[in-house]
Structure 1
């Protein structure tokens, strides 16, 4: 269990401390971010995988009613929901009530997301899409 906590802490820290260089050299994105309705129409019923610089971060399953299930790669699932706030798509999860807000753009290869938090530079790209639900076995399942 300690290994999973350390892994989660490291991923969270990496997520929060995106390098300033990313802010200086953003990936080209579409002109306007998706509206909440456009995002909902695109994502609902799908499980999307996201990566940064070719490294997969995790996957999120988008359920009806703006419910979501997120999992960092090789980690437990987090259940939550999303909402629109000032043009951002914001996510709140059961284990972390702090909204995580993003701007999503539709690219020819899928979605591109820019984190609207303090770092302002984390950018993720959709690298996979499926209708298969996330596998969420739960914590400490096994021997």
Structure 2
């Protein structure tokens, strides 16, 4: 009985889920939403998830950029129009929202979802009202 309690405690504790989200799970969770992300409690940026795996991203206080996402070996990779280099993340669903770990980063950059809405992303600069 003690082992079951310990397993339940570990599964329900903050931290990383045992299994990364699949592309299908990620799409079902994000589609039609705008999510705000933070690093260490500080707002980092926000992303609007559109149909066809299209996205609009903005770092806090900066202009928006359009992009796409795709599944690459179990990771969710993003390519944006301002930079053609893929940025791949492993996403986990937690009780308080998504958590993401940037792949290939020795510092282990981790994002956490801090807010979600069904409103469009408000963009600074020339793409205002996108």
Q: Bigger radius of gyration, 1 or 2? A: 2
Which of 50, 55, 62 aligns to 1:68? It is 55
Partner of residue 39, structure 2: 52
Secondary structure at the counterpart of residue 139 of structure 1: helix
Partner of residue 5, structure 1: none
- Stretches of structure 1 that go unaligned for 5 or more consecutive residues are 1-26
Q: CA deviation at 1:140?
A: 9.3
**Which runs of structure 2 are paired with 1:60-139 in the superposition (5 Å)?**
60-119=47-106, 121-139=108-126
Give the aligned CA root-mean-square deviation in angstroms. Answer: 1.6
Q: Quick one: distance in 2 between partners of 1:89 and 1:82?
A: 7
How does the TM-score come out when normalised to structure 2?
0.84
Q: Quick one: distance in 1 between partners of 2:127 and 2:33?
A: 27
Number of matched pairs:
115
Q: CA deviation at 1:120?
A: 5.5
CA change 1:83–1:140 in 2 (3 A) is closer
Q: CA deviation at 1:139?
A: 3.3
How does the TM-score come out when normalised to structure 1?
0.76
Consecutive aligned runs of 4 or more in structure 1 exceeding 2 Å deviation: 117-120, 136-141
Q: Is the 8 A contact 2:61 2:124 kept in 1?
A: no
